[in-house]
Structure 1
Amino acid sequence: MQKRATNVVLTAVTGTTLAGILVAGVAMAGDDSAPKQQKTPTELSMVAQQEQADQKAAAKKAEQAKAAEAKKKAAAKKKAAPKALYTGKTTASYFWDDGSGINGDTGAPAGGKPMQKGLFASPSWPLHTKVKVSYNGRSVTGFVGDRGPGIPSHNGIMLDLDTYTFRYLLDGKKPASKYNSGTGEGHIKGLKYEVIEWGDGPGKKGAPQPFG
């Protein structure tokens, strides 16, 4: 009888101990502070490789987006550029007629606007015609604001450029003064011109004609 009672007590104690162990195990499993399993070197290497691949993919995507944006801007700029109505080449001289009488100028420009940078003279084109002139990789957009050159136009000199435009196209610099380019050069041969918009003033459209 005594032995049986002892067995019952031992069984009860053992059951209680096992239950405690199970409860403790569950508690540890749910505890975030419990030590986590460390990744192996192989797993860490795979993670690093994936991060590098993601970074490269993001960089490539950003580069493609940048290239697409640049292409879009270039296309828009090309579309916005006005189409030339008339183009050609000629020999150009220079002038600065401001009404001062210096160098024998003939007075204020015929177009009614004061002498200025970007004001050109044509023997025949309508006054206020918008024209782009180019030489040696440099370009200036101006307008026909005066008549000229006179007699030289009969020798193929069909544009008179203001002194600043003339010097800039020639070598990218500024003239010695408004009345002198400062280079000793009086003409630019092979000047390219592009008529962007015909003016509303008197004159003739199309190929430039000698003065008078």
Structure 2
Amino acid sequence: MQQRAIDTALTALTGTALAGMLVAGVAVESAHGAPADKPMAHNLTSQQVTGHDNNTNTGKTSGKTSGKTGGKTKAGKAAPKTHAVLSGNTTASYFWDDGSGVNGDTGAPASGKPMQKGMFASPSWPMNTKVKVTYQGRSVTGFVGDRGPGEPSHRGVMLDLDTYTFRHLVDGKKPTSKYDTGTSAGHLKGVKYEVLSWGHGAGTKGTPKPLG
């Protein structure tokens, strides 16, 4: 009888303790259960994904930008300079020989090419030699296509320039006609010449020599 009373009391006490534990478990479940964890997990996932995307995009953007910028940049590349194989100064006259007989011309140019702008006459340089002439800051690049001037070359006039080139060197304008420069100047002293490349036609390379 006494033992039964003790068992009953222990059973009651155990039930009370179990009930208390269940209540405590429910409280813990409410405070730290899945419903409370999901928003935190979502926020963390968002931060991780956002951080990953930013790093990935930044890496790609930086790579593309650097690549394109580097590919298009041309800084530091200087344009190639043209070097003269011969340069000097001389007195230049003008001509326009087209075989018309105007101004006593001697016929078609010796090179066989038609008279044109940028055609020069030299007493000795090879035909088709490329020459740049400069006077008072103005320049024209042409080629040797005829022989001349005649006797003036013995007096130091080593270049005969077409009328268009001659007039451009004087004042930057065009001649009155292809036979007349439209100025009172018959010669230009101190014209700088630069031979850019020698021609393969008849003639002699080097310092110009008088005709004949």
Q: TM-score, normalised by structure 1?
A: 0.72
Q: 1:70 to 1:133 in 2, by over 3 A?
A: farther
Q: Match of 1:31, as an amino acid?
A: H
What CA distance in whole angstroms lies between the structure 1 residues aligned with 2:93 and 2:169?
12
What CA distance in whole angstroms lies between the structure 2 residues aligned with 1:146 and 1:140?
17
Deviations along 1:53-82, one digit per CA (max 9) or x if unpaired, are xxxxx99xx69x84xx343233xx13xx3x
Q: Which runs of 5+ in 2 are unaligned?
A: 1-8, 48-64
Alignment check: 8 A CA contact 1:120 1:160 kept: yes
Alignment check: 8 A CA contact 1:119 1:143 kept: yes
> Does residue 73 in structure 1 map to residue 84 in structure 2?
no
The aligned counterpart of 1:12 is 22
Percent sequence identity is 58
Correspondence list, 1:1-212, <5 A: 4=13, 5=15, 8-23=18-33, 24-32=35-43, 66=73, 69-74=74-79, 77-78=80-81, 81=82, 83-212=83-212
How many residue pairs were aligned? 182
Q: 1:128 to 1:33 in 2, by over 3 A?
A: closer
Q: TM-score, normalised by structure 2?
A: 0.72
What CA distance in whole angstroms lies between the structure 1 residues aligned with 2:195 and 2:46?
81
Shift of 1:198: 2.8
Shift of 1:172: 2.4
Alignment check: 8 A CA contact 1:123 1:158 kept: yes
What CA distance in whole angstroms lies between the structure 1 residues aligned with 2:27 and 2:127?
111
Q: Which runs of 5+ in 1 are unaligned?
A: 37-57
Shift of 1:121: 0.5
Superposed structure 1 runs of 4+ greater than 4 Å apart:
1-7, 33-36
What CA distance in whole angstroms lies between the structure 2 residues aligned with 1:127 and 1:190?
23
Shift of 1:16: 1.2
What CA distance in whole angstroms lies between the structure 2 residues aligned with 1:107 and 1:35?
91
The aligned counterpart of 1:39 is none
CA RMSD of aligned residues (A): 3.0
Q: 1:35 to 1:140 in 2, by over 3 A?
A: closer
Alignment check: 8 A CA contact 1:28 1:34 kept: no
Shift of 1:209: 1.8
Shift of 1:35: 11
Q: Match of 1:144, as an amino acid?
A: V
Q: Match of 2:31, as an amino acid?
A: I
Q: 1:140 to 1:15 in 2, by over 3 A?
A: same
Alignment check: 8 A CA contact 1:125 1:208 kept: yes
What CA distance in whole angstroms lies between the structure 2 residues aligned with 1:101 and 1:92?
22
